Structure 1
Amino acid sequence: MLPDQTFLRIPGPTPIPPSVQRAMNQPMIGHRDQEIKDLLHSIKPKLKPVFGTSQDVLMIAGSGTAGLESVVTNTVRPGDEVLVIVTGAFGDRFVQICQEYRIATHRFDVEWGEAVKPEAIEDYLKQHHEIKAVFATFCETSTGVLNPVQEIAQVVHQQSDALFIVDGVSCLGGVEAKMDDWGIDILITGSQKALMLPAGLTFLAVSDRAWQVIETNERPSFYLDLTKYRKQLENDSTPFTPAVSLLFGLKQVLELFEEEGLDAVCARHKLMMNMTREAFKTLGIPLLTSDQAASPTVTAIKPHDFDPDALRNVLKKEFKLTTAGGQQHLKGQIFRIGHMGYCSPADVLQTISIIEGALHKIGKHVELGSGTRAAQETMLSGGS
């Protein structure tokens, strides 16, 4: 392999489009100059369709976890009861954040690899009337599950007055999102996934209903006080130093989205998911999730007759292809392929072909080209 050639196929950070890299290489400007105001003014309306909202989208310099923590500190108080739906490692992170702030946390665990059933949440809320907020993960990165947040939002609002808060970090920009129509109160994402940027920005859209709760929450916060970001964004500014280079890149990302069309972006991600899944089905290697629960942005594979970490090591060492391993109790049991953001069906074909060769190198004999052929046939049929 060429020494400078690498293939990044993890569920974030993801590859950066060359035009976005060029945009981020622009000379630095003063973060309080008119140029920043003009930049934010141009970005604001372009972000709204990605979230499916009429609300301005807040931009905070920080990782996606900063966004998760901010919604906890701004919406609930110590002693308040909340429900966290845990379908993997990042649902578990919401639990940890809530417990760190001494929130009375109800934990609803779902078997890893399965999506939550909305009717189960409906039954739970019928029995727990004091819950102030329900936290869920849209795409559970650790398992490749896409949870039915539209249906969950419906039962949350039917059965309670709780806010419905969704972590969309590993899928927003790659799947359809209609925050306002679906009844999501706060939707969060990060820059380093389907938004095709380096890590360092977190984005939040907040409903009018959630703002009413935030405005009456007297809990102190400084850097993560969302009302500060809303006030400054109204004036095309930020309360603290913005990540200027990332904002340059974000403007270009949003222009790429407009050029391709958000519906086409989502269709491309769904096609890549189907190509990946059909390849492994043809190779006879089990997938962690069902077709119904699968995410368009990341696929988790759970082999039964070879070591996934041995495969990952060969992929990395001999082919410069980086994939992700399992987390927590799935460590050493699965491997994950990210197919989001700056990724195309051609990239999926390359990835599957490389994996077939690496499988032979670790002693797992498959018919070379069979998985690639299945992916090709899926691509040519449009994913059907």
Structure 2
Amino acid sequence: MLPDHQTLRIPGPTPIPPSVQKAMAQGMIGHRSSDFKQLLQEISPRLKPIFGTTHEVLLLTNSGTAGLEAAVVNSLQPHDEVLVLVTGAFGERFVKICETYQAHVHRLDVQLGRSVQPEQVSEFLKQYPKVKAVFVTYCETSTAVLNPVAEIATAIHDVSDALVIVDGVSCVGAVPMQMDEWGIDIVVTGSQKAFMLPTGLSFIAISEKAQKIIDQNKQPRFYLDLRKYRDSIKEFSTPFTPAVSLIQGLQQTLNLFEEEGLEQVFKRHVLMRDMTRAACRALNLPLLTSDEDASPTVTAIRPIDFQADELRGILKKEFGITIAGGQQQLQGKIFRLGHMGYCAPSDVLQYISAVEIALKRLKVEIELGQGLKAAQEVYYHAI
């Protein structure tokens, strides 16, 4: 392996396209200059289709988790009742954030590797009519589950006036998001996933209903005060110093999205998921999720005849390929293959081939090429 040849196949951060790297390497501009104002003016309307909204998408210089915290601190007051749908580690994170701000948290826990069913949510909410907000993770990265947020939102609205707040960090930009049509009130994502940028930006879209609640909220907040960002973006500015280089890179990311076409972006991610899952089945690698629940951005495998972390170590040592392990209860029990953002079907063929060699190193009884063939068949018949 070449010493500096490294490949990221984790569900974030994801690889950065060369053209985006070049855009970020431009000369610095002042964040209060007319050049930066023009940059935001050009970018702002182009973000809206990705979120499926007519509302402004706010840009914050922070991580995706800070974006989630901003959603909580702006929409809730202490002792508000909330429902958190917990399908893994990032549902747990929403619980911790809400509890930090003294919300009264009700949990709906789902078996790891399964998605939330809309009827579960509506039945749960009937027991708690005072719930002010429901928090759901769109893609639960830790289990590779894609929750049906459109149907969940409908189920919520059928029985409650609660806000619907979605963590879209690990999938927005790679899967459809029709925020306005689906009745979602707040959507948060981050720059280091499908947006193909380094960590450092969060994106937050807010419905009119949620904005009214935010305006009336007496909860103290300063840097994460979304009212400041909303008022600033109207003037194509930011309330605090932004990550200028990342926003220059974002402009090129949007160029790439538009050049490929969002629908084709979504289809590419579904294809990579299907190729990966077909290969795993051919290799008798147990998938953690069903086809119905599987995310287009990451695939989780729970091996039974070898150690997940040993396979990860071989891929890293021999090929410079980094894949993800498990989190919390799944630590050491699963490995996860990221296929998100700057990733193509050819990359899937590469990591499947490398996984096969790693399996042979681990004395797993497979025939080289059997997983690769299955992935190739999926690709061949899809194109």
Q: Which residue of 2 aligns with 1:187?
A: 187
SS for the counterpart of 2:165 is strand
User: Could you say which residue in structure 1 is the equivalent of 2:68?
Assistant: 68
- The one-letter code sitting in structure 2 at the alignment partner of 1:198 is P
Superposed displacement of residue 364, structure 1: 1.3
SS at match of 1:90: helix
- Map 1:149-188 to 2 at 5 A: 149-188=149-188
Q: Write out per-residue CA displacement over residues 283-319 of structure 1, whole angstroms, 9 at most, x where no aligned residue.
A: 0110000000000000000111110000001111111
Check if 1:246 corresponds to 2:246.
yes
Cα displacement string for residues 252-274 of structure 1 (whole angstroms, at most 9, x for unaligned residues): 00010000000000000000000
Shift of 1:71: 0.6
Residue identity opposite 2:340 in structure 1: M
CA RMSD after TM alignment: 0.7
Distance 1:319 1:253 in 2: 28
Instruction: Determine the C-alpha separation between the residues in 2 that align with 1:18 and 1:271.
Output: 23
Which whole-Å CA distance do the structure 2 matches of 1:6 and 1:362 have between them? Answer: 22
TM-score (structure 2 length as normaliser): 0.99
Q: Which residue of 1 aligns with 2:303?
A: 303
The 3-state SS of whatever aligns with 2:26 is coil
SS at match of 1:381: helix
Deviations 1:63-94 (A, max 9, x none): 00000000110001001000000000000000
Q: What code does the residue aligned with 1:83 have?
A: L
SS at structure 2 position matched to 1:134: strand
Identity %: 61
1:28-51 CA distance string (max 9 Å, x none): 111100011000000001100110
User: What number of residue pairs does the alignment pair up?
Assistant: 383
1:349 maps to what in 2? 349
Aligned to 1:363: 363
How do 1:209-358 and structure 2 match up within 5 A? 209-358=209-358
TM-score scaled to structure 1, two decimals? 0.99
Letter of the structure 2 residue corresponding to residue 159 of structure 1 = V
Q: Alpha-carbon deviation of 1:3?
A: 1.5
Structure 1 residues not aligned, in runs of 5+:
none
- Matched residue, 2:375: 375
Q: Structure 1 segments of 4 or more deviating over 2 A?
A: none
Please give the alpha-carbon distance, in whole angstroms, between the structure 2 residues aligned to 1:353 and 1:74: 47
Are 2:88 and 1:88 aligned? yes
- Is the partner of 2:382 in helix, strand or coil? coil
Aligned 1:7-26 pairs, distance under 5 A = 7-26=7-26
CA distance in 2, matches of 1:365, 1:41: 57
- How far apart are 1:243 and its partner, in Å? 0.3
Distance 2:365 2:245 in 1: 47
Find the counterpart in structure 1 of residue 2 from structure 2: 2
CA distance in structure 1 between the partners assigned to 2:363 and 2:197 by the alignment = 37
- Unpaired runs of at least 5, structure 2: none
Distance 2:374 2:200 in 1: 37
